Amino acid sequence: VEGSLVRKHEWESTTKKATNRSWDKVFLVLRGNTLYCYKDRKSYQAAPEVYFRAEIPIDVSGGQASVADDYTKKKHVLRMRLIGGSEYLYQAKDDEELAFWVGALQIA
Ligand code: I3P
């Protein structure tokens, strides 16, 4: 599972807001339980070991993915809550892509 989404890191942990909460367009690759984040598809293809901002890939197992109905500033947004309380928002291009990612992240 892979594709481009726009991402915002909201929470570092349950009690700590993420330091950088701006939206970034990223290229995501979900393999098994692991979510890898790249600058774009080109960068992924050229160097799959080089992640966006050198971020450590995320383990999404045991986490919760759902449509972020309460987030009203942007459309087609999902929320991913990880074990430990870290939380991300991901914006898809439409509802179909949104449903696709929510489904993929739920079963991961
Ligand atoms: C953030 C940026 C985000 C905004 C966030 C800001 O500023 O404007 O778009 O989130 O608000 O901190 P910067 O780009 O300077 O880091 P929203 O789009 O959700 O409002 P926040 O501090 O309320 O998370």
- pLDDT one-digit tens code per residue, 30-41: 999 999 999 999
Report how far apart, in Å, the C-alpha atoms of 12 and of each of 18, 29, 46, 78 are. Answer: 5, 21, 29, 17
Structure tokens at 104: 């993929």
The ligand 1 atom at the shortest distance from the C-alpha of residue 89 is 19
**Ligand 1 centroid – CA 21 distance (Å):** 5
Measured in Å, residue 46 CA sits from the centre of ligand 1 at 31
Determine the pLDDT at residue 73.
98
Of 39, 35, 83, the residue nearest 58 (C-alpha): 35
At 42 the pLDDT is 98
pLDDT digits (tens, 9 = 90+) for 63-85: 999 999 999 999 999 999 999 99
Inter-CA distances, 74 with 35, 57, 89, Å: 22, 25, 10
Q: Which ipTM was obtained for this model?
A: 0.95
The Cα–Cα gap between 108 and 102 comes to 10
